[in-house]
Structure 1
Amino acid sequence: MVKAIMSLPKEQWFEYINAKTRSQVRVKSAAGPEGPIYVERKNPTKKGGAISKATLSSPMIWRIANAYAPNVPINFDRVLAGSYNTRSLLEALLAHTPEFYWCVPGRIELLNNSSEIKRGHKHIVWMPESPHENGVLIESKFGSDQAISEIPTQAIIYDSLAITKTLLPVEMDIDVKRRHLQIQIALLEIGNQLGFRTWIAHNDKGFMYGKKRVGELDGVIAKLSDERVLASYEEAKVAANLIDCIWFKNGRLMPAVMEVEQSTGVTSGLTRMKKFQDLGPRLADIRWVIVAADEDRAEVIRKANTLQFQSLNAKYFSYSAVEELYSLCKRRNLSNKAVNEEFLDCFMEPCLPALELQ
C-alpha cells in the first residue's frame, strides 16, 4: 500500500471520493516501506486555501492492509472503528492507485422477518487483476453491484490485570506488559477450548487476572516436570521455563511453542525457541510460533528467515488472528471434537515461504 501511494504523481493534488468534500490531498514523503506517510491537504474553496500537514500512521495503514482480500469491498470507518482523523486522506490516496477502486455496494437491511437492499456506504475494493491508470479515481461497477450484510463486530473482553512496577523489569512499561499478558490469556483460552494443557512462562504466573493468579487459571500447567513428553529432558525443561506459551496434548505432543513479542525483540523469542528445539524431544508437527502485533509482520518474517533460525520453520501468529480465533472459540464453543489441529494453521502464516514470495 505504501509503495502504491508513493508511486502516485508527485505534487499532484487528489480529490476526496465524496464529491461534496472540496478538500484535496497530496503525498510528500514516507518514512519507510510500512509508513508513516507524510501528506499535505488543503481546501481550495476556503479563503486563502491554506495548506496543512498530516501524517498517515503505520498502525492505521496496517489495520487497513490486514483487512483486505481481493475483490472484497471494505469500509474504512468500520475497519478503523471511526478512529484516526486522517483515515479519509488514506482512503482518497489509496483509491487513486491502480489496483484500488471505490464503490457503493448495497446494504442488506433486516427488519423483522424481511430484508431489503438499500443504498450502502462508500467502500474501497482491491482488484489486483484489473489495474487502472495511476492517479485516477474510478468507481468499480463490480463492487457497486454487490450487497453487504454486516454482522456485529465481535469484541474481546479481558478481565482486569493487576500489574505493578514492582513486578516488572525497570525498563518495561505497564501498558506493554498488560497487552503481552492479554495475548497469553487468549492463547490459554484457545488451548482450553481445543483440549490442550498450557504452559505459561514462569515469571508471568504471579500476575493477577480477575480474582486469580495467572498460574492458578484453569488449564495452566504448574510444573513442566508434570509433562511426560519432557520427562527425560532436564535441560529442555530449563530452556522452556521462560517461553511465553507452550501447548501440550495427551502428555505426548506439543502442538505449538509460542513467544509473544510485545515487549522484547523478535530475536530473543526466536533464540529461546531455538534453544528449546535443540535440547528438547524431536517431535513431529511442533509449530514454532512468533506471536506479534500486526504491524510487526515484516520484522518477524525477516528475523525468522535468518540462517540460525531456519530450522524452526517458524510461523507468524498476528494479534488480530489470535483474537479472531479466541472470539470464534468463545462464540461457537469450538472443541477438539469439532476441529483438528490443522485448523490452527488457517490463522498462522508460515515465515519461510513468505519471504520467497515477496
Structure 2
Amino acid sequence: MVTMISQLPRNQQYNYIHSATRGVIEIVDVTLPEGPISIKRYNPAKGQSSSTSAPVTISSQMIQRVANAFTPNNPINFDRILGASYNTRSVLESLIAHTPQFYHCKPGRVDNVGRNSAKVKKGHKHLVWMPDNPHPLGQLAETETAVIISEVPSNAIYYDPIDITNTQSQFEIDDIDIQRRHSQIQVALIRIGEQLGFRTWIAQNDRGILYNNRRISEMSSVVKSLDTENMIFPHAGAVRSAHLIDCIWFKNGRLMPAVMEVEHSTGVTSGLTRMKNFYDHIPPYRDTRYVIVAPDEERGKVVREANRPQFRDLNTRFFSYSAVEELYSLCQRRRIRGITEEFLDSFMESVVTDATHLPYS
C-alpha cells in the first residue's frame, strides 16, 4: 500500500474523496516499505498554498492498522477501523483511493428496525481493494457493489480480576497498568490454549499473579514444573533457558505448538534473545512456532528485530494483541473443537524475510 502511494507524483494536488471537503493534499515524502508518509494539506479557496503549509506525518502505525483491515473485494469503513484516532485518516483514505487497486463505494447497510424486521438503507462511504480491476494512477474512481453490511457491536473481551502485587517481575516496570496488561495477555493465552487442548507454561517470575483470586500457577491447564516435560527435560540447558519465557504451549507430551514472549513494556530484542537461547538447547522441532506477542503498533519493531541475522533461525511470528483478543473472544463465545494447529496460522503473521515484502506493506 505504501509502495503504491509512493508512485503518485509529488508536487501535485489530490482531492479528498468527499466532495464537500474543499482542501487538497500534496505528498512531500514517502518512506518505504512501511511509512511514514509526509504530506501537506491546505485550502486554496482560503488563500492557502503549499509554501505556507507545514508538513504533517501519517504514521506507520496508522498505515499498518488500515493495511491489516483490507481483504480483496471487501469494503472497509475508515472510521470503524480507526475510530476517533488519527486526524489524518481522511488524508490517508484519499491517497489510497488515488492508487489503481482501490475504489470508493457505498455498500448497502442493514438497518434493524425491529425484532423480526430489517431493511437495507444506503450505506456510508467505504474503500474497497480490487487488485484484479485497476483504474488509472492518480485518479479517484467509484464502483458499485452488491455488498450489504450488517453492522454489529464489537465483541467485548472480559478479564476476571488480576492482582500482580505478589509477582517478582523479571523487569523493572514503573507503570502497574503496563504490568497488568502484560498479565491479561498471558491469561488470554492460557485460556486460548485450554480451548485448543494445550497445557501452558508461564514464566517462573509471573506464577504468583492472582487471577480471579487464585495464583495463575494453580490453573488446571498451567504446567506445574518443566522437569516433567519430556520434550525439553532431556536436553541440557533447555529447562533453565525456558524458565523465564512468558508462555510455552505443550500438547500430548509430543508437541510444542508455540514458544511465546509477550513484549508489552520491554524491548523485543530481549524476548527474541530468550527464545533463541531456548531454541539452541533443544532439537529443531518442526511444528514449533516462535512468537512475539505485542501491541499492534509494535509490528514494525518486531519485523526489524526478527530479521536480524542472529534471530533468523527462529522464523519468528507476530501475534498482535488484537489478534490474541480476537481469538480469545472466539474462545469465550464458542467452544472451539476439532480444529488443527494450522488454525493458529490464521492469527499469527510470519515476519521473517519475505513477509517484509508483502503487497500490503
Question: What secondary structure does 2:63 align onto?
Answer: helix
Aligned to 2:8: 8
Moved more, 207-216 or 83-92: 207-216
TM-score (norm 2): 0.86
Q: Could you say if the C-alpha distance between residues 126 and 176 of structure 1 is closer, same or farther in structure 2, counting changes exceeding 3 Å?
A: same
Q: Which has the higher contact order (CA 8 A, sep 6+)?
A: 2
Aligned to 1:72: 74
Identity %: 54
Q: Could you say if the C-alpha distance between residues 117 and 286 of structure 1 is closer, same or farther in structure 2, counting changes exceeding 3 Å?
A: same
Return 5+ residue gaps in structure 1 as ranges.
Answer: none
Shift of residue 305, structure 1, vs aligned partner: 4.4
Q: Could you say if the C-alpha distance between residues 179 and 171 of structure 1 is closer, same or farther in structure 2, counting changes exceeding 3 Å?
A: closer
Q: Could you say if the C-alpha distance between residues 257 and 179 of structure 1 is closer, same or farther in structure 2, counting changes exceeding 3 Å?
A: same
| Aligned ranges 1:104-253 → 2 under 5 Å | 104-111=106-113, 112-141=115-144, 144-162=145-163, 167=169, 169-170=171-172, 173-233=175-235, 235-253=237-255
Question: What secondary structure does 1:280 align onto?
Answer: coil
Q: Could you say if the C-alpha distance between residues 27 and 291 of structure 1 is closer, same or farther in structure 2, counting changes exceeding 3 Å?
A: same
Contact 2:303 2:356 in 1 (8 A): no
Q: How many residues align?
A: 354
Contact 2:290 2:317 in 1 (8 A): yes
| Structure 1 Cα separation of the partners of residues 25 and 162 of structure 2 | 43
| Structure 2 Cα separation of the partners of residues 308 and 102 of structure 1 | 44
Return 5+ residue gaps in structure 2 as ranges.
Answer: none
Amino acid at match of 1:140: T
Contact 2:168 2:205 in 1 (8 A): no
Shift of residue 302, structure 1, vs aligned partner: 4.7
Amino acid at match of 1:135: G
CA RMSD, Structure 1 to Structure 2 (Å): 2.9
Shift of residue 94, structure 1, vs aligned partner: 1.5
Question: What secondary structure does 1:85 align onto?
Answer: coil
Aligned to 2:64: 62
Amino acid at match of 1:146: V
| Structure 1 Cα separation of the partners of residues 174 and 132 of structure 2 | 46
Contact 1:260 1:292 in 2 (8 A): yes
Q: After superposition, give the CA deviation of every residue in 1:296-342 in whole Å (9 maximum; x if it has no partner).
A: 4454345444554444333332222222111111111214xx32222
| Structure 1 Cα separation of the partners of residues 168 and 256 of structure 2 | 33
| Structure 1 Cα separation of the partners of residues 48 and 286 of structure 2 | 68
Q: After superposition, give the CA deviation of every residue in 1:157-186 in whole Å (9 maximum; x if it has no partner).
A: 334544579957347654543433332222
TM-score (norm 1): 0.86
Amino acid at match of 2:147: Q
| Structure 1 Cα separation of the partners of residues 215 and 175 of structure 2 | 20
| Aligned ranges 1:311-350 → 2 under 5 Å | 311-335=313-337, 338-350=338-350
Q: Could you say if the C-alpha distance between residues 312 and 31 of structure 1 is closer, same or farther in structure 2, counting changes exceeding 3 Å?
A: closer
Shift of residue 237, structure 1, vs aligned partner: 0.7
Shift of residue 72, structure 1, vs aligned partner: 1.3
